[in-house]
């Protein structure tokens, strides 16, 4: 192989363009950071009790992630999905059987905790008594966003167990295995929707925006000028809570009339997409009074009580 010395200008342009396209999850660190962030966000938060309950659940995810054993994605599957530019393991078709054991482990950890309200205990008992077939059917409803009213209490626990197995499988991939897929608004690993996007700091990710998958926790790059839901580049704007820290802003798109939150690590290095999305419920209440609908749900949100305080908005252009 021939080598040649790069000129300074070339080195600069290489450094500028060589940011990672895909950030695969490191599950134990991810869940550990997320649990700590949820505890932090609970301070003075109107939904503090709920955030502390979730911190407990995410801490249990971290523990489960240290022992879970999933089946790796087969090399033939990777090759075929790369050839056809398809996501590697569309979630509803690739539920690893280990998820039910993870669910049982999460319930063992969380159910006795002081953070669990008494009103939730019957729901968790019912969840434990489900047959494997009924649990798989419930997992399908969680992953395809087709929940029934009676699923709501159990859904965050099911989603948490599924995250552990999907994040584990994703963590064992190589970033180069992940296909370039279209549309760019769905996870290239599991074809799920992003829960939020994050403006990252540190290393060669600095200043780049990534969409964070709500199921397998993979992050993939998308330029900020594009809507993270329809990829339109027209009229993207940001809206935050007046007087707030602006760590979390709602990115709004006039083409598809949706919003999705952008979590900005430049404003707070500890910001974490899923946790900060949950911790900024006020912003959702504010957005509820606009014409923009939330683009996708937070998988751990189904237990939230409904309340509607009114908060003033500020608007800044993209
Ligand atoms: Zn995913
Ligand atoms: Zn859009």
Task: At 118, give phi and psi (nearest 5°).
Answer: -55, -35
296 alpha carbon to ligand 2 midpoint, in Å?
12
Q: How many residues does the chain have?
A: 318
Walk along the chain (318 residues) and give the pLDDT tens digit of each residue: 445 565 655 555 555 568 999 999 999 999 999 999 999 999 999 999 999 999 999 999 999 999 999 999 999 999 999 999 999 999 999 999 999 999 999 999 999 999 999 999 999 999 999 999 999 999 999 999 888 889 999 999 999 999 999 999 999 999 999 999 999 999 999 999 999 999 999 999 999 999 999 999 999 999 999 999 999 999 999 999 988 889 999 999 999 999 999 999 999 999 999 999 999 999 999 999 999 999 999 999 874 433 333 344 455 544
Task: Name the token pair of 233.
Answer: 């580049």
Find where tokens 């010395």 sit.
Answer: 5
Residue 136, by phi and psi: left (phi above 0), alpha (psi -120 to 50) or beta?
A: alpha
- Measured in whole angstroms, how far is the alpha carbon of residue 252 from the centre of its chain? 18
Ligand with an atom nearest the CA of residue 258: 2
* 62 within 8 A of 164, measured Cβ to Cβ: no
298 alpha carbon to ligand 2 midpoint, in Å?
18
188 alpha carbon to ligand 1 midpoint, in Å?
7
Ligand with an atom nearest the CA of residue 231: 2
Q: Near ion ligand 2, which residues have CB within 5 Å?
A: 227, 229-230, 232, 253, 255-256
192 alpha carbon to ligand 1 midpoint, in Å?
5
* 222 within 8 A of 40, measured Cβ to Cβ: no
21 alpha carbon to ligand 1 midpoint, in Å?
14
> How far apart (Å, rounded) are the C-alpha atoms in residues 317 and 238?
6
195 alpha carbon to ligand 2 midpoint, in Å?
15
């Amino acid at each position: 192989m021939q080598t040649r010395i790069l000129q300074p200008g070339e080195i600069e342009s290489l450094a500028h363009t060589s940011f990672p396209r895909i950030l695969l999850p490191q599950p134990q660190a991810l869940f550990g950071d997320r649990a700590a962030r949820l505890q932090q966000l609970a301070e003075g938060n109107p939904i503090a009790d709920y955030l502390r309950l979730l911190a407990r659940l995410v801490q249990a995810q971290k523990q489960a992630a240290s022992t879970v054993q999933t089946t790796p994605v087969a090399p033939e599957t990777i090759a075929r999905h790369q050839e056809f530019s398809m996501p590697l393991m569309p979630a509803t078709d690739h539920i690893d059987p280990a998820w039910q054991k993870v669910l049982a482990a999460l319930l063992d950890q969380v159910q006795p905790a002081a953070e669990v309200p008494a009103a939730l205990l019957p729901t968790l008992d019912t969840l434990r008594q489900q047959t494997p077939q009924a649990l798989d059917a419930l997992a399908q409803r969680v992953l395809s966003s087709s929940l029934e009213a009676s699923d709501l209490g159990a859904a965050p626990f099911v989603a948490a167990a599924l995250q552990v197995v999907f994040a584990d499988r994703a963590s064992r991939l190589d970033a180069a295995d992940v296909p370039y897929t279209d549309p760019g608004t769905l996870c290239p690993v599991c074809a799920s929707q992003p829960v939020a996007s994050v403006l990252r700091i540190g290393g060669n990710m600095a200043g780049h925006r990534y969409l964070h998958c709500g199921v397998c926790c993979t992050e993939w790059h998308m330029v900020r000028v594009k809507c993270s839901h329809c990829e339109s580049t027209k009229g993207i704007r940001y809206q935050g809570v007046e007087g707030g820290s602006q760590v979390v802003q709602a990115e709004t798109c006039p083409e598809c009339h949706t919003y999705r939150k952008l979590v900005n690590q430049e404003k707070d290095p500890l910001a974490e997409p899923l946790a900060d999305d949950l911790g900024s419920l006020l912003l959702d209440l504010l957005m509820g009074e606009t014409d923009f609908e939330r683009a996708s749900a937070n998988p751990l949100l189904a237990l939230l009580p409904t309340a509607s305080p009114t908060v003033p908005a500020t608007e800044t252009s993209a």
